[in-house]
């Protein structure tokens, strides 16, 4: 059997060997002394770090206070910004509302104007249609336009149009051209003449006939004969003082170019004077000639 002390010394595995009591107390005392000796330098080393931490904490606290002040300032600025933004939005809303109302009013005015124009155009179209239908019925009812074989054989040129120029000679030439055209075409019916003549009116003359035609449709006025039409046309477009002006121009008329040009101008003025005697006409004609032309007429005994 082995000796227990030897076994302990040999360190047999699985066997707990209690330390010696005396040796354990001495070890604790030794360890205690060692701890006492190492504690003092450790506290001294922590003091600078504690101071640094205090400084850092103080700086952090100052930073936090600064952040709090900045947050408070931001809150105040945000409140002011919110108030200003709301005021600006309200102002812009009022401006937009006023502009919308103004645009809406302009749109309503434009719509009303367009509707009035469309109604006027429709009325004009209806008037033109009725005018054309009336002319068509008048022409179709004319026996000369339907049965005259001479009119079909002869190519008669249409008369010139009249645009409303206020000149007695132009008006008379226009009416004379229509008379010639009706005679060549064999038109004898008064209604056919009155219905055909307005188709050669243009410009101001056509506007005048539109007014007259509207009055005729309402029963206010009536043009039944070709003589009535010519009288109304002359009354509207022939100057009231045309004859007086023609006489004044005749007294001032002098030959400045060829004999042909002088004769044409003299004849035109004479057409605007209805009661000039042959003796007076010859006097004014000779008075305006150049001296050599007067001498030639005197020699011939005109």
| Strand segments (E) across 111-186 | none
Residue % of the chain over a pLDDT of 70: 76
What percent of the chain clears pLDDT 90, i.e. is strictly above it? Answer: 10
Least confident range from 2-16, 56-70, 273-287: namely 2-16
Which pLDDT band holds residue 17 (cuts at 50, 70, 90)?
A: very low
Provide CB contacts within 8 A for 217, sequence distance 6+.
Answer: 130
For residue 23, what pLDDT is reported? 52
**Per-residue pLDDT tens for 106-157?**
888 888 888 777 777 777 777 777 667 666 666 665 554 444 444 445 677 8
Report yes or no on whether pTM surpasses 0.75. Answer: no
- Residue 187 vs residues 182, 229, 272: alpha-carbon distances, Å: 5, 16, 28
Which SS3 state, helix, strand or coil, does residue 162 take? strand
Is 9 or 106 the better-scoring residue by pLDDT? Answer: 106
CA distances in angstroms from 274 to 43, 182, 280, listed in the order given: 147, 25, 12
């Amino acid at each position: 059997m082995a000796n227990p002390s030897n076994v302990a010394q040999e360190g047999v595995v699985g066997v707990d060997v209690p330390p010696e009591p005396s040796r354990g107390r001495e070890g604790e005392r030794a360890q205690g002394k060692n701890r006492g000796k190492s504690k003092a330098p450790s506290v001294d080393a922590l003091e600078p770090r504690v101071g640094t931490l205090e400084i850092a904490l103080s700086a952090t606290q100052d930073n936090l206070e600064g952040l709090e002040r900045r947050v408070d300032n931001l809150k105040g600025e945000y409140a002011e910004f919110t108030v200003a933004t709301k005021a600006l939005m309200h102002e812009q809303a009022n401006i937009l509302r006023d502009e919308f109302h103004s645009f809406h009013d302009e749109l309503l005015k434009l719509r009303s104007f367009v509707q009035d124009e469309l109604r006027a155009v429709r009325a004009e179209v209806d008037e033109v249609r009725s005018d054309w239908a009336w002319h068509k019925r008048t022409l179709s009812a004319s026996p000369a336009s339907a049965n005259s074989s001479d009119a079909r054989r002869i190519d008669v040129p249409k008369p010139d149009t009249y645009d409303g120029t206020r000149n007695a000679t132009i008006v008379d030439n226009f009416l004379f051209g229509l008379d010639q055209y009706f005679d060549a075409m064999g038109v004898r019916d008064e209604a056919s003449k009155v219905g055909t003549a307005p188709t050669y009116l243009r410009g101001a003359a056509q506007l005048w006939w539109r007014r007259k035609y509207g009055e005729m449709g309402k029963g206010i006025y009536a043009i039944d004969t070709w003589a009535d039409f010519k009288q109304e046309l002359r009354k509207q477009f022939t100057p009231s003082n045309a004859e007086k002006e023609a006489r004044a121009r005749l007294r001032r008329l002098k030959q400045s170019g060829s004999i042909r040009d002088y004769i044409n101008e003299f004849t035109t003025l004479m057409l605007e004077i209805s009661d000039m005697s042959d003796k007076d006409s010859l006097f004014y004609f000779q008075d305006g000639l150049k001296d050599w032309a007067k001498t030639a007429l005197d020699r011939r005994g005109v």
